[in-house]
């Protein structure tokens, strides 16, 4: 992976950490949250910036920290056990790959890839961590996991496009269908956004099996997904801070009484809906496909269509149930302050640059 790509991933982690810190000023446990933010972002940056194999030890550190969060979470016992077992396997492989040959390194990279860039049925650690994390930290976990996973996928481009394209394409299609339908059945915002992320990143897995030159687009496109979804997670965390926990539909009309929040929320959700179209708009159709990949090309077309159509439904449903409608008269509304506006504006600007201009 070149220096420019590494710098983009590191910048995304730093930007997310800053935006999450700006969102902690209302929290009663802001000092503890700041420590968690610094540890997660610091370990993520060390994993990216320190050369191999030393960076593997920092990767082990962040996986261990994720396991610690999962152990303290209130997830179902079975899901927690499976998630911790998968993280333990990823830690062992990360340690083993630091002093082993290429074969184990490739296998370790594949396991780390499906864990960090969630691909069902290996998505439980990511889904459990993001959906159960307190506050805006779920947004930072999203950016850190996806950034580290994108670095692994960039190293595995050749293996994915030539060694196992059919298997990965089928898994990516299953991931898109499964996670999209999971979104349709959610009544809480954070689990919906968690599975929306899994649905979006299924496109990354599918595209790597079809386009031999996709590695140059992989990181910018992946970071667009990470930054937009981080922005949505942070936004709804602020809404929760102001008004408490609520299910979708119980707090409508926010755009009317909180216009600054409404404008930024509409922009974020609009970008999230348009994410499947970004590869086409940025010229992905002009890339040469790998040899004998007609089946994979059909599959990725179904993946993009599925993510776009179903994503348009559940994102528009989320928008209409929160931003639009009649506001409740019994709630003292308070719009975003300057720091929160700056945080969301930075995430939107960075996502737009990464997705359309880079």
Q: What is the CA radius of gyration of the chain?
A: 19
Residue 161 pLDDT level (bands cut at 50, 70, 90): low
- Rounded CA separation 312/316 (Å): 6
Residue 158 has pLDDT above 80, yes or no: no
Confidence (pLDDT) at 75: 85
Segment 48-85, tens digit of pLDDT: 999 888 899 999 999 999 999 999 888 888 999 999 99
Label residue 331 by pLDDT band (50, 70, 90). Answer: confident
Sign, CA torsion 285/290/291/294: negative
pLDDT tens, position by position, 291-315: 545 566 788 888 889 999 999 999 9
CA–CA separation, 6 and 41 (whole Å)? 15
What is the Cβ-side half-sphere exposure of residue 195, based on CA atoms within 13 angstroms? 22
Q: How confident is the model at residue 122 (pLDDT cuts 50, 70, 90)?
A: very high
**Hey, what's the torsion of the CAs at 252, 258, 261, 263, to 10 degrees?**
90
Give the Cβ contact number of residue 259 at 10 Å: 12
Would you state the pLDDT for residue 325?
A: 83
The Cα 59–Cα 289 span in angstroms is 33
211 beta partners? 289
Query: What pLDDT, on a 0 to 100 scale, did the predictor assign at position 46?
Result: 95
Q: Are 347 and 231 in contact (CB under 8 A)?
A: yes
- Using one digit for the tens of pLDDT, what is the confidence trace for 194-231? 999 999 999 988 888 776 666 677 888 999 999 999 99
**Section 232-252 average pLDDT:** 84
Q: In the chain, which ranges are continuous DSSP H helix? A: 3-22, 30-49, 54-72, 77-97, 102-116, 124-132, 137-155, 157-158, 165-184, 189-210, 215-243, 254-257, 259-274, 278-281, 294-322, 338-352
User: Taking 80 as the threshold, does the pLDDT of residue 14 lie above it?
Assistant: yes
């Amino acid at each position: 992976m070149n220096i420019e790509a590494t710098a983009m991933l590191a910048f995304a982690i730093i930007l997310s950490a800053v935006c999450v810190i700006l969102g902690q000023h209302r929290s009663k446990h802001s000092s503890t949250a700041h420590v968690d933010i610094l540890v997660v972002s610091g370990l993520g940056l060390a994993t990216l910036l320190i050369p191999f194999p030393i960076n593997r030890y920092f990767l082990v550190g962040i996986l261990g920290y994720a396991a610690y969060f999962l152990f303290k979470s209130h997830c179902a016992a079975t899901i927690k056990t499976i998630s911790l077992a998968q993280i333990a396997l990823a830690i062992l492989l990360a340690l083993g790959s630091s002093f082993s040959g290429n074969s184990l390194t490739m296998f370790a990279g594949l396991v780390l890839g499906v864990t960090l860039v969630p691909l069902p049925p290996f998505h439980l650690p990511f889904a459990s961590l993001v959906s159960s994390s307190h506050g805006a930290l779920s947004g930072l976990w999203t950016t850190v996991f996806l950034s580290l996973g994108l670095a692994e996928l960039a190293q595995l481009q050749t293996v994915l496009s030539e060694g196992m394209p059919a298997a990965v394409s089928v898994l990516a299609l299953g991931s898109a269908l499964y996670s999209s339908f999971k979104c349709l059945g959610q009544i809480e915002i954070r689990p919906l956004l968690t599975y929306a992320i899994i649905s979006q990143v299924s496109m990354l897995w599918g595209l790597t099996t079809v386009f031999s030159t996709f590695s140059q687009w992989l990181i910018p496109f992946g970071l667009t997904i990470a930054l937009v979804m981080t922005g949505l997670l942070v936004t709804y965390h602020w809404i929760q801070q102001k008004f408490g926990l609520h299910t979708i539909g119980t707090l409508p009309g926010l755009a009317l009484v909180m216009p600054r929040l409404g404008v930024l929320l509409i922009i974020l959700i609009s970008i999230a809906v348009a994410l499947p179209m970004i590869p086409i708009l940025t010229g992905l159709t002009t890339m040469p496909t790998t040899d004998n990949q007609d089946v994979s090309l059909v599959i990725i077309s179904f993946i993009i269509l599925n993510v776009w159509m179903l994503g348009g439904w559940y994102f528009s449903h989320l928008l209409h149930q929160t931003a639009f409608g009649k506001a409740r008269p019994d709630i003292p509304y308070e719009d975003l302050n300057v720091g929160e506006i700056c945080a969301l504006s930075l995430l939107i600007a960075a996502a737009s640059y990464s997705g359309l201009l880079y």
